Structure 1
Amino acid sequence: MCKDCLGIDPQRRKILGASIALAGLALFGNALLPDTVQAQPARAAETPDEALKLLTEGNDRYVSNNARERDFSVNRVNTAAGQAPFASVLGCSDSRVAPELAFDQRPGDLFVVRVAGNFVTDEGLGSLEFGSAVLGAKLILVLGHSRCGAVTATIEALQKGNQLPGHIAGLASAMKPGIEATVDKGGADLVAAATIANVRYNVSQLEKTSPILADLIAKQQLRVVGGVYDLATGKVTLV
């Protein structure tokens, strides 16, 4: 994504990233009073491969309706001192897709950013930079889903003209770069193809747009992948 698309040039983004990191470290280093300090929760995975394995195994449990039992009261106490998510998810706002449930993870394990259409925004990118550079997430998953309304609306806007009301039109405009080429090609299941194209496009943007994320990827401390959640089965397929 070009600097005009995000509105922040690379040099300013480097400065912003450093500021985020310093602010985050200060926040998490000084947020607790001496009489309430507890041990930081342990991160469930310390490499990108381990993180992806945990997500895959968790989704398998979810699909087979064999999710782990959770003691949420204990988990709240354990995470009150801080958070150590092992993965971030850039997902759609669709109410039927809940990442913590879909991957059978506890609160505190996933750092989730959601917007209808699961595409990269300035604010979302800053959040994901924070999740990786400050909180230490080892993986970013761009998660689309079947029969996505935002994808369908963007396809219709490209085919018929963007006449969507209010700020909904802005969603279609923002998603256009990732979907337009697929719409031009056509095909039997255009929504499914456009959903995959949109996921892959935003994976690419995350890999190359942010110097902060690119540096972590180059050091093999972070990986960005894409997946599509099937609403009927709950299965996430990597794309």
Structure 2
Amino acid sequence: MSETAQQAEAAQQPTPAEAWKLLKEGNERFVNGELRHPNQNAARRSSLTESQHPMAVIFGCSDSRLAAEIIFDVGLGDVFVVRTAGQVIDDAVMGSLEFSVDQLNVPLIMVLGHDSCGAVSATINAADTGTYPGGYVRDLVERISPSVVAARQAGASSVNETVEEHVKQTVQRMTGRSRVLHDAVTEGRTAIVGVTYRLAEGRADVVTTLGELEN
């Protein structure tokens, strides 16, 4: 994509603060049972056949109760979604995040954890018992383990407290590993917000931010 084309696409995007405001409002509608289901019709589908301009990338847990488009009341083309169990980072995730920022000019990255996370619970259990699961599940647990250690050092003991620490650690690892993400945040083109989703209430609560999210 040419520099001119990238600039034109960037001009269509909201600011990081505007994108966050839209997602917060959508989540509030979901919590209150006042969903609008925007951008979910045939006209919207047709308008996206040539290009996409998502306002945010949501990197969240794969848990079936964490459907991003539903809990933030958005539609087709609104969010670029990346999901792994326990929102675990690997090379494919980092590539997806860099693509969303570098090629799609996404102004906001959300790291979305949730309470009662099974992957985090499994990691806590492994730390307590010294027994690790087999197969590729072990890889998930090993990648979450540093967050469990950090949570305990901070005095956290419950699963939900550990989830919050894991969200914070994930935000730090993303920008620490990627020059693309680091520069986008430093230059004010992108901001990152880490949130935890409350299963019972449907509410997304902020636990950490990086970059400018205030107008």
Distance in 2 of aligned mates of 1:216 and 1:61: 30
The separation in 1 between residues aligned to 2:155 and 2:183, in whole angstroms, is 37
Give the structure 2 partner of residue 213 of structure 1: 181
1:162 to partner: Cα distance: 3.5
Alpha-carbon contact 1:62-1:234 (below 8 Å) kept: yes
- Count matched residues: 200
The answer on 1:174 being equivalent to 2:143 is yes
Q: State the 1:91 CA deviation.
A: 0.2
Aligned twin of 2:198: 230
Q: Which portions of structure 1, spanning 4 or more consecutive aligned residues, are displaced by more than 4 angstroms?
A: 184-187
Which one-letter code corresponds to 1:193 in the other structure?
E
Cα distance in 1 for partners of 2:162, 2:120 equals 7
Provide the residue aligned with 1:94 in structure 2: 63
Aligned residue number for residue 82 of structure 1: 51
In 2, are the aligned partners of 1:90 and 1:143 still within 8 Å (CA)? Answer: yes
Structure 1, residues 159-186: CA drift from partner, whole Å, max 9, x if none?
Answer: 1123312111110001111222324666
TM-score, normalised by the number of residues in structure 1: 0.79
2:88 and 2:140 in contact (8 A); partners too = no
Contact 2:37 2:73 in 1 (8 A): no
Give 1:147's aligned residue: 116
Unaligned runs of 5+ residues in structure 2 are 208-215
For residue 48 of structure 1, what is the aligned residue in structure 2? 16
Are residue 129 (structure 1) and residue 129 (structure 2) matched? no
Pair 1:46–1:62, CA change in 2 (3 A): same
Report the secondary structure of 1:140's partner residue: strand
% identical aligned pairs:
38
